[in-house]
């Protein structure tokens, strides 16, 4: 009986180390209307560029747009992205278009020329169609197909995927709010 009292008075102490609770995921605003995104990805250096797509899909889902609401399109290189973006924007099916590619030196064109041309063309698409177009088309000063460079750019593209998802979701919320104000005659 004495033993039973001791156990009742002094319950077993948990000796497992305390693990910090993970902070709750950030609360992102909800969209008033369904969103649909086109993700256009260059196939050159796919093993690097796909890190952007993977990170983008994870982050955009955390921000309230389901993976099923993102359509993926592959093009040969970054130079082909703007035409695809324009045709996709003209369908009016997409509320945003995201472009991802890696432009490196080595072709018949200088990589700075290709990157500048792609970025300018993407800007023209969004201004002509009023469908926002986001770019994760990157052009490093130096790129070598070594393990070190490939690993660095894989990590870099993963970061860019998160950043472009954040920019995309934030812009879509802003445009949704602005369009509502315009429709209501507030702006």
Q: pTM score, two decimals?
A: 0.80
> Which pLDDT band holds residue 7 (cuts at 50, 70, 90)?
very low
| 82: helix, strand or coil | helix
- Percent of the chain having pLDDT more than 90? 54
Is residue 114 situated within a structural domain?
yes
Instruction: Find where tokens 């009742």 sit.
Output: 8
Q: Find the domain containing 97 and state its range.
A: 33-183
Instruction: Find where tokens 């093009």 sit.
Output: 75
Which amino acids are annotated catalytic?
110
pLDDT at 14 over 60: no
pLDDT at 93 over 80: yes
pLDDT given at position 4 = 45
Is residue 21 situated within a structural domain?
no
Is residue 15 situated within a structural domain?
no
Q: Report the C-alpha dihedral over residues 68, 73, 79, 84, rounded to 10 degrees.
A: -90
CA–CA distances in Å: residue 50 to residues 42, 73, 94, 169: 9, 12, 21, 20
Q: What is the mean pLDDT of residues 40-51?
A: 92
Residue 65 is part of a domain; what is its CATH number?
3.40.50.960
> Which pLDDT band holds residue 23 (cuts at 50, 70, 90)?
low
pLDDT-wise least confident of 41-55, 61-75, 82-96, 102-116: 102-116
Does the CA dihedral 75-79-83-89 come out positive or negative? positive
- Measure the CA–CA gap between 104 and 179, rounded to whole angstroms: 39
pLDDT given at position 69 = 97
Is residue 9 situated within a structural domain?
no
> Which pLDDT band holds residue 3 (cuts at 50, 70, 90)?
very low
Query: If you average pLDDT over every residue of the chain, what do you get?
Result: 84
Please, where are the H alpha helices in the chain?
2-9, 46-62, 81-90, 111-129, 147-183
Is residue 174 situated within a structural domain?
yes
Half-sphere exposure of 43 (CA within 13 A, CB side): 5
Q: Are 101 and 77 in contact (CB under 8 A)?
A: yes
Is residue 54 situated within a structural domain?
yes
> Which pLDDT band holds residue 148 (cuts at 50, 70, 90)?
confident
The number of domains in the chain is 1
Q: What is the mean pLDDT of residues 98-123?
A: 79
Is residue 28 situated within a structural domain?
no
Is residue 11 situated within a structural domain?
no
């Amino acid at each position: 009986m004495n033993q039973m009292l001791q156990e009742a008075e002094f319950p077993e102490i948990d000796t497992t180390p305390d693990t910090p609770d993970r902070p709750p995921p950030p609360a992102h605003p909800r969209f008033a209307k369904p969103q649909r995104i086109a993700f256009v990805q260059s196939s050159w250096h796919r093993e690097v560029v796909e890190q952007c797509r993977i990170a983008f899909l994870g982050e955009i889902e955390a921000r309230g747009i389901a993976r099923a609401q993102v359509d993926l399109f592959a093009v040969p290189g970054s130079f082909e992205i703007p035409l695809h973006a324009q045709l996709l924007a003209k369908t009016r099916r997409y509320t945003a278009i995201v472009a991802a590619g890696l432009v490196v030196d080595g072709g018949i064109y200088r990589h700075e020329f290709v990157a500048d041309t792609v970025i300018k063309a993407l800007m023209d698409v969004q201004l002509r169609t009023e469908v926002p177009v986001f770019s994760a088309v990157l052009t490093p000063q130096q790129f070598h197909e070594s393990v070190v460079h490939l690993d660095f750019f894989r990590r870099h593209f993963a970061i860019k995927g998160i950043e472009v998802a954040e920019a995309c979701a934030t812009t879509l919320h802003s445009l949704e709010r602005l369009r509502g104000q315009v429709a209501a005659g507030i702006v």
